[in-house]
Structure 1
Amino acid sequence: MSCDRRVISLRFNQDQGCFSCCMESGIRIYNLEPLVEKSHYDTEMVGSVSQCEMLFRTNILAIVSGGARPKMPDNILHLYDDSKKKVFMEIKFSSSIRAVRLRRDKIVVALLNKIHVFSILYPTQELFSLETRDNYKGLCEVSPLASAQKEVLIFPGHKLGSVQIVDISNTEQGISSAPVYIAAHKNELACLALNQQGTKIATASCQGTLIRVWDTSSRNLLQELRRGSDAATVYCINFSRDSDYLCCSSDKGTVHIFAIKQTNLNKRMAMSNVGILGKYGESQWGLAHFTVSAECACLCAFGPQNSVYALCLDGTAHKYVFSSEGICNMEVFDVFLDVDDDDDEF
């Protein structure tokens, strides 16, 4: 792959129906059903870009420069209006931006050890900020829907392996209330996910063998799901839109699918082995899985009708359909970097 075609990062939008592709040669925006390119921003417009967060399917993009030919330092957030083809707001921070998350009413920016929350209507107006432990991966997620049962922001807490939960429905409360934590893992967090309803959190540590699912209100552990027995780097965790399923991807090149609602669908070890192996023998293993290239990172998310997408940094897109019996079949394989442009609005 040429340098200009090198993919730096990929990110699904909030409903997982589109994704942004940040490259040395700019940004591309894709629709998933069908897989078509919807917008293209070259280096003359935006430079090389390390992060791009969409706001659902609106014309608003949050962009952070990076790569070999950045237009701006990586401590400046650009809010870009696709309809006007220009940046309409810049927000400068004291250090490099690790992650950006958008809701229709708020902007969340993660730095190495601080989280900033702004009003999207008045981007220069900071609602509040919170100190964090060193967060090199920029781990943070926010419930995307205004109609969500709970409007929460999650990120690594100060204690190793913990998750902090902040209620963002009341920004004053977010400042004054005592911090709410989940002691999720004994090791450093590697990946976080939040369902659309804001009621469930999924966590994985740098060990990468277990994924734990938590209730945001009670902070109780709901499920412990086993990705595998060998240590792995977990790249991505995502809930289905109805929270019935969860998927994850790792550097083992395998995408695992777990049942969250009907846990009896998940595979378990034969009963004869359970007593000997203890907690390991009691683990819930995936309902289904499929394999992509282990040589490059990939993101995974659910599509319609029990389908799962895997998008890889090598430019490949995989779509599999799974059944409640655990059968998983490929439906689509494509190279999204070679997909033709589509001039329709996204």
Structure 2
Amino acid sequence: MANHSSSYPILCASFNQDTSYFAIGTRDGFKVFDSETGTLRYERAIGGFIIVEMLFSSSLLAIVGAGEQPSLSPRRLCLFNTTTGAALRELNFLTSVLAIRLNRKRLVVVLQEKTYIYDLNSLSILDTIDTVPNSKGLCAFSPSLDGCFLALPASTTRGSVLVYNVMELHSHCEIDAHRSPLAAIVFSPNGMYIATASEQGTIIRVHLISEATKSYSFRRGAYPSTIFSLSFGPSTQFPDVLVATSSSGSVHAFSLGLGMNQRSRRSSSFFGSIIPDSVNDVLDPAHHVLHNVVPAGVKSYAVIRKVDRVPGTSISESVAYRATVSIITHSGSFQEYTLIINQKNESSWRLERRFDLLTAISDNIISS
């Protein structure tokens, strides 16, 4: 998630593909942290960076400079080795690099009107996708080699999503998800589902990729808000939980399993029948809010690092979810919460830890 505004000390933040590490870019350089311990594992103070993407827990980073120094052009992608502290390869483009995604086989580079697919090992171009103007570099990527999809905006006037098969190199489908242009998109880890939010930010929808059909609609709120991030839980099967951060300063969690169980009851009720929605959705009620996590308007990025199923406290209670939600703010803080949801759709949030990303002291370098 890149941010070019000068009002924030953090210019970008991203978790790796399995959320075991995360990286931030600042005006001074970039840092890599261990998600489990919060330990700063690597830092490099050589200038500003607007993109820092990590390949799993390896020593490979894909980085793009903020353009504040001639050597750190936003049109240059550098593949960087944290073990040797040296650049492995550089790729130069005619316009600024807006987003990068990668897995063990593919490297995806998003420009404003083109997206390039590379073989990661040889760095040979496999395909070029001409896209609608995408000034924010909006994209989503499923890093799994099975169901490895890339999502890009397919329209500048509607919330349409192009889903592209990155391994087989062909367009898979197009999903008309919203009436307004897209603001956020994310795949489930196995590439089976995609969640979307529009610039209105009031409704979040989840579609099944294989059939391009809508599975869920969640109402985040009644008033428009800018969605900064969406993230599914790490399940490789059916996703349990989805979280969203927005300009409201709150974190919203949606329980997909409970939404499915309660959908029929909600849709048949009088209250459910009168809730307005642009496409006559049945709105799933499994919605849990943590208010005022960050000041309103401050960019934030949340992921669900773990989801555990835990037994209920009595025989009559069913299994509950316990999710670990990690939040990075562009003002420089890391926060981690435990979210517990029982089968009655009751929830509680507990702050586990919080620290300042900008003052953390380096421990040791990441190993290959």
Instruction: Give the TM-score taking structure 1 as reference length.
Output: 0.90
Equivalent residue, structure 2, for 1:6: 9
1:284 positional shift: 2.5
Measure the CA separation in 2 of the matches of 1:268 and 1:138: 37
Residue type of the alignment partner of 2:152: F
Equivalent residue, structure 2, for 1:256: 252
**SS across alignment from 2:355:** strand
2:133 matches 1:130:
no
- Picking from 191, 196, 201, the partner of 2:194 is 201
Contact 1:35 1:336 in 2 (8 A): no
- Picking from 152, 156, 168, the partner of 1:155 is 152
Equivalent residue, structure 2, for 1:76: 76
- Structure 1 pair 89/34, CA: closer, same or farther in 2 (3 Å)? same
Residue type of the alignment partner of 2:350: N
1:339 positional shift: 2.4
1:206 positional shift: 0.5
Residue type of the alignment partner of 2:43: H
Equivalent residue, structure 1, for 2:314: none
2:114 matches 1:118:
no
1:262 positional shift: 2.9
Unaligned runs of at least 5 residues, structure 2: 1-5, 309-322
Equivalent residue, structure 1, for 2:48: 48
Residue type of the alignment partner of 2:76: I
1:195 positional shift: 1.1
- Picking from 272, 275, 285, the partner of 1:277 is 275
Residue type of the alignment partner of 2:93: F
Residue type of the alignment partner of 2:302: C
2:26 matches 1:23:
yes
Measure the CA separation in 1 of the matches of 2:94 and 2:67: 20
Length, aligned pairs only: 333
Residue type of the alignment partner of 1:28: K
**SS across alignment from 1:39:** strand
Measure the CA separation in 2 of the matches of 1:270 and 1:321: 33
Unaligned runs of at least 5 residues, structure 1: none
- Structure 1 pair 268/18, CA: closer, same or farther in 2 (3 Å)? farther
Contact 2:217 2:281 in 1 (8 A): no
1:344 positional shift: 5.3
Equivalent residue, structure 1, for 2:302: 300
1:282 positional shift: 4.9
1:5 positional shift: 8.8
1:317-328 paired onto structure 2 within 5 Å: 317-324=334-341, 325-328=346-349
**SS across alignment from 2:48:** strand
Contact 1:319 1:330 in 2 (8 A): yes
- Alpha-carbon RMSD across the aligned residues, in angstroms, is 2.4
1:232 positional shift: 0.6
Contact 1:4 1:24 in 2 (8 A): no
Residue type of the alignment partner of 2:117: V
Equivalent residue, structure 1, for 2:331: 314
Residue type of the alignment partner of 1:303: R
- Structure 1 pair 4/142, CA: closer, same or farther in 2 (3 Å)? closer
**Structure 1, 236-245 or 61-70: larger mean CA deviation:** 61-70
**Structure 1, 160-169 or 101-110: larger mean CA deviation:** 160-169
Q: Deviations over 1:125-155 (max 9, x none)?
A: 1000111111111112221122x3x121111
